[in-house]
């Protein structure tokens, strides 16, 4: 007969094996929280044509590697979409003004220029997602991409996933593009905050159209130039870069005595997002089949 010690060891082994199997089963659900609590919006402005829902998602903020937070997101879909036909997916990352540290409401997202365009009647034949975070974008953009893919996995074209963002979200776009370059079809970072160029060699095969205003007083144009240079140096062949030279609005004198043009910062995204050429270029891109394969500076 088996000794008591051996029976105890056998029981403990079986118990640990069962726990490991249970952990393996539940681990994906814990590590990848799905988008949840989608609620249809009935009070959209009369000018808005796209169907709107508000949902929630979970993320780990850049400044807190262990603290999970719940954020909001907006999803827009075409009014005639049947929910079955696979559509492209477009993800927009907001600027610092919409972070919940500054204003913890969904209204902060509506003030962003991109959702404003949709509320004013702009339509996209795509699933459009606008997530909100608490602070400046770090790895949260990549986290949202994973959750969006998991949630809409049978409803969107996996070869037509696009990412764009402005200011803080522009920096978040650069960062997420590096981390998820194999999943994206194209990216559009606009006047992004400073982010590392160390791994920009990962972007050599990703179509990118970047925008910045030369006179931006808040996010230096050099931040975008550095990315363009790094990708080109690594052999990138699919980069477009538009650098505006306009000085709209009134100026004031800076600390160095030179004029400062505050409106040059939003001018970059207002001009870019209002240009139909951008959207034609973007939605022509397919993962692994980049279009306009020439480096171009506009």
Helix (H, G, I), strand (E, B) or coil at 50: coil
- 203 within 8 A of 237, measured Cβ to Cβ: no
**Distance in angstroms (rounded) separating the CA atoms of residues 64 and 67:** 6
| pLDDT digit string, tens, across residues 250-293 | 999 988 888 899 999 999 999 999 999 999 999 999 998 887 54
Please report which helix (H) or strand (E) contains residue 260, including its range: strand 259-260
| pLDDT digit string, tens, across residues 162-208 | 999 999 999 999 999 999 999 999 999 999 999 999 999 999 999 99
| pLDDT digit string, tens, across residues 94-127 | 999 999 999 999 999 999 999 999 999 999 999 9
Q: What's residue 12's pLDDT?
A: 54
Contacts of 163 (CB under 8 A, 6+ apart): 90, 91, 93, 141, 145, 173, 176, 177, 180, 184, 186, 187, 188
**Distance in angstroms (rounded) separating the CA atoms of residues 81 and 83:** 6
- 190 within 8 A of 168, measured Cβ to Cβ: no
């Amino acid at each position: 007969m088996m000794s008591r010690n051996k029976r105890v060891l056998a029981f403990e082994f079986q118990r640990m094996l069962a726990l490991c199997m249970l952990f393996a089963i539940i681990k994906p659900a814990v590590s990848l929280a799905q988008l949840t609590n989608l609620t249809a919006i009935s009070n959209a402005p009369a000018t808005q044509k796209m169907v709107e829902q508000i949902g929630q998602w979970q993320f780990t903020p850049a400044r807190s590697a262990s603290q999970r937070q719940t954020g909001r997101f907006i999803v827009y879909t075409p009014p005639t979409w049947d929910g079955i036909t696979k559509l492209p997916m477009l993800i927009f990352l907001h600027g610092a003004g919409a972070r919940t540290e500054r204003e913890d409401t969904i209204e902060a997202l509506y003030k962003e220029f991109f959702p404003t365009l949709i509320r004013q009647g702009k339509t996209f034949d795509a699933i459009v997602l606008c997530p909100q975070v608490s602070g400046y974008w770090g790895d949260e953009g990549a986290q949202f991409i994973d959750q969006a893919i998991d949630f809409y996995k049978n409803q969107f074209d996996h070869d037509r996933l696009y990412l764009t963002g402005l200011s803080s979200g522009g920096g978040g776009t650069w960062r997420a593009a590096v981390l998820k370059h194999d999943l994206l079809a194209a990216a559009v970072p606009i006047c992004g905050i400073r982010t590392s160029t160390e791994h920009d060699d990962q972007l050599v095969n990703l179509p990118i159209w970047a925008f910045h205003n030369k006179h931006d007083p808040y996010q230096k144009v050099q931040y975008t130039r550095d990315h363009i240079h790094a990708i080109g140096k690594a052999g990138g062949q699919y980069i477009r870069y538009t650098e505006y030279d306009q000085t709209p609005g009134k100026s004031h004198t800076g600390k160095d005595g030179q004029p400062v043009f505050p409106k040059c910062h939003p001018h970059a995204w207002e001009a870019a997002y209002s240009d139909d050429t951008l959207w034609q270029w973007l939605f022509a891109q397919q993962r692994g089949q980049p279009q306009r394969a020439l480096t171009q500076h506009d």
